[in-house]
Structure 1
């Protein structure tokens, strides 16, 4: 029997430089009182101290198994496929580590209309947010196709495969992937913004809402993330 515990928020850390963003995303989800658990996929290249810090924020820490990357993908692309191998979960919503959750949006994990759809992208094609259903069969199938991609982008192949499998695609609403630099959208959709994409942080020329989002990111980082990183680093230093 499936339970809410089988549905998780998921992100990834491919280098130590991703850790501050990933933890800030983590604490932003806790700030809005998500009822779901949080998971992170970590590259073997990430340092032990960073991994320890992540274990204090996230409920689950998985290691990216690079040996399964038989298609020779960049880790940033392979991690999207690797999430399909997490068979302990019924459904995951994968967020890029540079995202910030500003409102509770557990409904993304509650939606059932995409039962036959393995991946759900944002309608604008941005894969910074993905809803997926883990499946080893789909993982192996896509890996074989991607091995023959001949320069075609990974996202393009995933979307084409999905279109071939599903007659009527569903999409993730734009409010769950609002880019910070899209000033007009912020002014028009302030009440509907749920998750912000901070990939292109541009502190100058932002409207009021954009400035508030950056302030929120900094507040979460200063109050929750930085003390955690410092505490873990201090413990490690004392043990050396």
Structure 2
């Protein structure tokens, strides 16, 4: 067959939502190349039909698990073991060259020039720049390479238990051998990095080609108002609002109308939401579920629903006290709350002072539901 293709991976219906939005974002920017998605048995037939309507190729692969519990424990991310399944992308030998994209990425501008790069080209990881982030990389499909990497994995394992550690060990000369294989950060801008270096985001954000929503910044973890169609991230992620909004705009226009309640997990829940109408009981339940997930991941909305006053009212309601008879919280607790709020306000002021990215005009996808298949 030959030619080039963008490749992603979906291991369940929920993560297929990210894959669908990613595919539509690629179509939106006018890519000339094909789209391929690897799916595991966890993706239902109903969802596969929706994927097939957007992707040029939908192919099932077996689940590869690193079984490397010791190293995965170091990351406290046991779900990353399944990302070894990503290695199947080297088996797509019907294509001459591919670019792999994690399903929690979003293409903002045309990036077809990436196919001019050689294997293995990738952007530095923000946590350790001498390693590359495996959420976006250029590679050449090869059964021999697939066999070589899997044999290497069986023998050497992965220093982080996931695909990123393995691929950095296998392509160990990436950091120093050929600078042309170092992709600029704008081709894999990890969303958490923008908060740690906001001035750079202000300076270079308009040049971003691909945004990688890692960790708690995933679009489906944010509050979405069904009446207004506006996504409302917490204050610490406010600078990402335009990019998160673009994801939701594509989701609402291109993905949501084709969802079915028979889909599994988050996909089925989102299918029951009616856009343009007040939040349904299903949406409220879904938001509470995602809010719980956010708490467990350390993403707490101190200035909104999770403010100290609201938490205190909830405590009192649980104790069956009338709102007009709310006791004052302990003084020491008040001091802690004020300190936390002050720090949050300082963060908000810093965020608001640097502006935000304006994405291109639109011309025309976790538990395992809200889990992360991304690399770091």
TM-score class, shorter: 0.7 to 0.9
Equivalent residue for 1:146, pick from 148, 153, 161: 153
Please give the TM-score of this superposition, normalised by the length of structure 1: 0.82
Match of 2:250 in 1: 220
| Pair 1:192-2:207 in alignment | yes
Q: Distance in 1 between matches of 2:29 and 2:262?
A: 25
Q: Distance in 1 between matches of 2:96 and 2:5?
A: 9
Match of 1:98 in 2: 104
Trace 1:17-166 onto structure 2 (pairs within 5 A). Answer: 17-66=14-63, 69=64, 74-79=81-86, 81-109=87-115, 111-112=116-117, 114=118, 117=119, 119-124=120-125, 125-150=132-157, 152-153=159-160, 154-163=163-172
Q: Distance in 2 between matches of 1:205 and 1:71?
A: 37
Instruction: Answer whether contact 1:71 1:144 (CA < 8 A) is retained.
Output: no
Residues 148-157 or 44-53, more deviating: 148-157
Q: Distance in 1 between matches of 2:182 and 2:33?
A: 21
> Structure 1: 5+ residue runs without aligned partners?
234-240
The alignment yields a C-alpha RMSD, in angstroms, of 2.6
Give the deviation of 1:190 after TM superposition: 2.0
Give the deviation of 1:87 after TM superposition: 0.6
Q: Distance in 2 between matches of 1:157 and 1:63?
A: 22
Instruction: Answer whether contact 1:15 1:45 (CA < 8 A) is retained.
Output: yes
Q: Distance in 2 between matches of 1:30 and 1:40?
A: 14
The alpha-carbon distance between structure 1 residues 64 and 208, as it changes in their structure 2 partners (threshold 3 A), is same
Give the deviation of 1:32 after TM superposition: 0.8
Match of 1:172 in 2: 183
Structure with higher Rg: it is 2
Q: Distance in 2 between matches of 1:197 and 1:210?
A: 11
Give the deviation of 1:164 after TM superposition: 5.2
